[in-house]
Amino acid sequence: MSRIDVVDEAIIDADPASVFKALIDEVNGRTHWWMPHLEFRLRGETPIEREGAIFDVTIHSRGTPRWTAKITKIVEGKLIELEEEGDFGNWNMDI
C-alpha cells in the first residue's frame, strides 16, 4: 500500500481558541469555509468536541481521497489528535 506523506502548515492571524473553535465548527457542519474542496461529515452521536467522536473526510479533487477519523485526544484550544482509516496516516492538529 502506498503512503502519502504531506506537511501542510499555515499561519493564521487569530488566537488559538478562535482557530480551535473554527476547526470544530467546520467538522461539525456549522460552517462550510473549506467547501467545495474539503468536506467533513460527523458520524454517530458523540459530539465533535469529545474524544471518541468519529467523522468522515473527503477531498474533492483528482482521485478524491477519503478517510475516517476518530478523535483520540482533545485539549480545548490547543490540540486535536486523530486516528484514521483510509488514504492518510495518523495525524494531529497542534493549534
* pLDDT tens-place string over residues 19-58: 899 989 999 989 998 888 888 999 999 999 999 999 998 8
Task: Compute how many other C-beta atoms are within 10 angstroms of the C-beta atom of residue 75.
Answer: 11
Q: Is the pLDDT of residue 95 over 70?
A: no
Strands (E), the chain: 38-43, 54-59, 66-75, 79-86, 91-94
pLDDT recorded at residue 3: 61
pLDDT recorded at residue 10: 75
Model pTM greater than 0.85? no
* pLDDT tens-place string over residues 2-13: 566 666 677 889
Q: What is the rounded distance in angstroms from the CA atom of residue 91 to the CA atom of residue 88? A: 8
